[in-house]
Amino acid sequence: MPIVDFKTYCAMLDKAKKEKYAYPAINVTTSDTMAAAIEGFAKAKSDGIIQVSTGGAQHMSGGLKDMVLGGICLAEFAHRIAARYSVNIALHTDHCQPGKVDSFLKPLIAETARRRAAGLPNLFNSHMLDASELPLKENMALSVEILKLCHENEIILEVEAGVVGGEEDGVNHENAPAEKLYTTPADMVAVYEALSQVKGARYMFAATFGNVHGVYKPGNVKLKPSILKDGQDAVVAKHGQAAHFDLVFHGGSGSSEAEIRETLDYGVIKMNVDTDTQYAFTRPVAEHMFRNFDGVLKIDGEVGNKKQYDPRAWLAKGRDGVAARVAQACDDLRSSGKMMNG
C-alpha cells in the first residue's frame, strides 16, 4: 500500500483506540532499518508507524549532516518500499525541540505543502514537537502555532508535556527532577484547552508517567500508568468524552507486558520503540563478526572471505533482527493481525 493519507491515518488511530491496541512507532536511521521495520509489520500483519528523529535524519544524509535532506530521503524511500506491501504505514518525525523547529520541522512541513500543491501525497503524515523543556504556557503557545501549520496540510501533530527521563538522540534528562517525570491532571486539562483552539485539527499527546528513554535494570524505572487514567478522567469530566486524548507512550523499551497493556486501557494508541530495535540490529551483526572473525578481517596477511565481509551479508542479519523485534512489539501492543486491509 502507498504511505497512508490523512483519512486512513485517522481511521488507523480510531480503530486502535476503539479496540484498545496501539501501533509500535519504530525509529529508523537508514534504508536498511526502514526496510526492516516495514518487513516486521508485514510479518505481524499489522499496520504501523515509522519515525525519524533529528539525529536519525542527520545520519541518513552522511557527511552533509543535513537533517532535512536526510528526513526527505528516508521518507521518499519509505514511499517506494511501502507501496509493495499490504500493510498501512504512516510516517512520523520524532522529538523536535524548540531550537530545531526552524531548521527541521518547518522545512519538512513546507516540503509537504510544496508536494500537495503539485498534486503529490504528503511527505510525512505526522510530526512531533517536543517543547516540554519550556514552561507549559510557552510549550502550548508554540504547539498551537505548529498545530495550525499541520492542520493546513492534513498532518497530525504530536506534543509532549512533562519530561521523559533518560537520554535519547543527544538530549539528556537523566537528572530531571522526579516531579517532572509525571504529567498532572491539571497539565492534561491545560493541554486540551490549548490545542482544542485549533478547530478540526488532529493531534496526539505524549503525557509522562515515569517513562524513561533507554533500557534499565528491573526496578529502576518507576512507571505509574494510572497517571494517564487520572488525567483522562479530569479532561473528560470538564470537557466531555470527545476530549479524551489519543496518547503516546515514550520510553517503552524494557517495560513489562503488564505495564504496556495497562496503558492501552487508558488511551495509548502509539508506543515508541527505538532502543530495543537498535540492539536487535546490532546483536546478530556482532554475532556474525565474532563467528567469522578470520573471514571479515584479513588476518596475518590472508585475504579474508569476501562473502563474509560483504556488507550485504551482515546487514541482512541486522534487518532480520529488527523485523523480528518489530513483530514482537506488535504482539505486545495487540496490533498483530489487525491491519485494516486484512
DSSP one-letter code for 185: H
Task: State the catalytic residue, choosing from 94, 187, 246, 274.
Answer: 94
Residue 172 predicted with pLDDT over 50: no
In terms of phi and psi (left: phi > 0; alpha: psi -120 to 50; beta: otherwise), the region of 163 is beta
User: 261 in helix, strand or coil?
Assistant: helix
Strands (E), the chain: 23-27, 48-52, 89-93, 126-129, 156-161, 165-168, 171-173, 203-207, 212-213, 247-249, 268-273
Mean pLDDT of 272-299: 97
pTM attached to this predicted model = 0.93
Q: Hey, what domains does the chain have and what are their CATH numbers?
A: 6-332 (3.20.20.70)
pLDDT (tens digit, 9 = 90+) per residue, 13-27?
Answer: 999 999 999 999 999
| Distances from the Cα of 57 to the Cα of 28, 53, 107, 108, angstroms | 9, 6, 13, 11
Residue 172 grid coordinates: 539528556
Predicted confidence at residue 168, as pLDDT, reads 47
- Cα–Cα distance, 317 to 20 (Å, whole number): 33
Mean pLDDT of 60-79: 98
pLDDT (tens digit, 9 = 90+) per residue, 282-293?
Answer: 999 999 999 999
pLDDT (tens digit, 9 = 90+) per residue, 302-327?
Answer: 999 999 999 999 999 999 999 999 99
- Cα–Cα distance, 87 to 44 (Å, whole number): 10
Annotation marks residue 94 as catalytic: yes
Residue 321 grid coordinates: 533482527
